[in-house]
Amino acid sequence: MYITHIATELNPIAKVGGLGDVVYGLSKELSRSGHQVEVILPKYDCIDYSQLHNLKVEFRELISFEGFNRFNNTIWSAEVENLKIKLIETHHPRYYFTRGVVYGCPDDNDRFIYFSRTAMEYLYKSGKRPDILHLHDWPTALIAPLYKEMYAPLGMKIGGTLLTIHNLEHQGRCSVFNVEESGLSGRQLLTPEKMQDPYRKEDLNLLKGGIVYADGITTVSPSYEREIKTAAGGCGLQSTLQTHVGKLRGILNGIDEDFWNPEIDPHLIKKYPPHRPLSKKNLPKILSAKLENKAHVRKHACMRECSTPLVVSITRLATQKGPELIRHAILRTLENGGQFILLGSAGDSDTYKSFEKIKDTHPQRDNLFLCFEKDEAFAHLLFAAADMIIVPSLFEPCGLTQLIGLRYGTVPIVRKTGGLADTVFDIETATAPLKERNGYSFDFPDAQGVYWALDRAFACWRDRPEEWKKLVEQGIDTDFSWKHQIPKYIEFYREIISTELG
């Protein structure tokens, strides 16, 4: 099968969050299982060019359109490891992809609408006809209507389109004019059945366009698939999703087991011994590697070396991630005599201040280390050094940090929502078989919920070390690699292709 992903992030060259991890892991595993896979991305100036191989010009002058204007673009081909990628460099006078960032510009709608149109122009003009065009979130969702309303009528025939919703919260609300710049008739799309935004009736909604027009939709966990069809989780798009429920699936994300592999991870001070399948004799070596990583991290954070658990949170500090609950987790950890490291990025200044206040005033402040950056290397080291990772999200489509934590022998403490509920099974309260239980969870997103889960984890760590080791062992043994999810994607791709042809 020939699968083309069109996306705005790709680990490790342009990663903002989990979307980059997922596009990379999924594409690599699809390609490993024998499919022809490529990823089309904007050629951002902030790409990590050191990770690209064989970068060369494939198409020097590709004309694309914005409204009535024509702009030139250069298409580059390259490889990230063995994965083939295409980069669209635009010579648009607004320098859409030379802003030093992936997202966060006031004209993000314009930037990604232009990228979507140009990616389609490239496929159309180069004669490429993928079996599946796989789109990711609102920035590339417009490709589904572009294909159906513009390129298919021009005679372009592909197998079908699939949209993955990584996070329904971000939808790409924009004006009719914005969409008209892509060449589509924005006025005709302004209906409740098509792209009209559920809240701002005069506006269009790019993600909704993808939901309505794509041949298949996936989201990144079965629980999130259920949640987004309800008023509580649907962010206004629940009735559109209910209408299109026949083409919606929840397929859990995996983690890329090469990139997140503590046996070879270059960022660890002490790598773990080979441990799959885990045997009892390996566990002490893993725990001793964890101790070495922890000692290094403590030194770096100017924390005392002592026998107390290290709790971490590695997250964007968006409202979704429960910064208030992370604050409660910090306070409780300090009260319990533990140590806490927060690696938090992309928060606002009030959020940062609320954490700094604890650091400035708490009597146990030496046991707290705050790092408000996006630091890939430090994140890897923390996954290996920590005893517990807290993920108290208000909602979480899938979540990757709990999965990475498990692989690095770090016990997850999570709020039971979305993908967190599908992957973390409470050692004491879950209905899952005992040997599948791998962490702690709580239901209600409040301080009491956090305290309840954290206190139980601390009690086990302190009073029942053998039980704790068993929990770590069961976590490491849980296999959340992509290989279990790939067959589900392949099956769905095949269904889409056969429906389209039929």
Question: Where do contacts with ligand ADP occur on this chain (CB under 6 A)?
Answer: 17-19, 21, 314-316, 343-345, 374-376, 379, 398-401
Choice between 17 and 338, CB closer to ligand ADP: 17
As measured in angstroms, the least distance from the Cβ of 250 to ligand ADP is 15
As measured in angstroms, the least distance from the Cβ of 116 to ligand ADP is 21
Choice between 64 and 401, CB closer to ligand ADP: 401
Choice between 33 and 319, CB closer to ligand ADP: 319
Cα three-residue angle 70-175-104, rounded to 5 degrees: 80
Q: Are 41 and 14 in contact (CB under 8 A)?
A: yes
Task: Count CA atoms closer than 13 A to 28's CA, side-chain side.
Answer: 21
Choice between 133 and 168, CB closer to ligand ADP: 168
Residues in the chain: 502
**Maximum Cα–Cα distance for the chain, whole Å?**
71
The alpha helices in 301-394, defined as continuous H runs, are 323-335, 349-361, 376-385
As measured in angstroms, the least distance from the Cβ of 54 to ligand ADP is 26
As measured in angstroms, the least distance from the Cβ of 254 to ligand ADP is 12
Of residues 102, 124, 109, 85, the one with CA closest to residue 6: 85
As measured in angstroms, the least distance from the Cβ of 415 to ligand ADP is 13
As measured in angstroms, the least distance from the Cβ of 417 to ligand ADP is 13
Structural tokens at position 212: 């309505």
Cα three-residue angle 76-78-84, rounded to 5 degrees: 115
Strands 83-90 and 132-136: unpaired
Choice between 182 and 223, CB closer to ligand ADP: 223
Task: Output helix, strand, coil percentages for the chain, rounded to the nearest 5.
Answer: 40, 20, 40
Choice between 57 and 264, CB closer to ligand ADP: 264
As measured in angstroms, the least distance from the Cβ of 479 to ligand ADP is 18
Choice between 17 and 145, CB closer to ligand ADP: 17
CA gap 416, 402 in Å, rounded: 12
Beta bridge partner(s), residue 174: 204
Structural tokens at position 213: 């027009």
As measured in angstroms, the least distance from the Cβ of 418 to ligand ADP is 10
Q: Are 308 and 338 in contact (CB under 8 A)?
A: yes
Closest residue to ligand ADP using C-beta atoms: 18
Instruction: Say whether the peptide bond before residue 12 is cis (omega within 30 degrees of 0).
Output: yes
Of residues 446, 389, 451, 447, the one with CA closest to residue 420: 389
As measured in angstroms, the least distance from the Cβ of 112 to ligand ADP is 17
Of residues 351, 290, 340, the one with CA closest to residue 450: 340
Choice between 376 and 491, CB closer to ligand ADP: 376
Instruction: Say whether the peptide bond before residue 433 is cis (omega within 30 degrees of 0).
Output: no
Choice between 18 and 130, CB closer to ligand ADP: 18
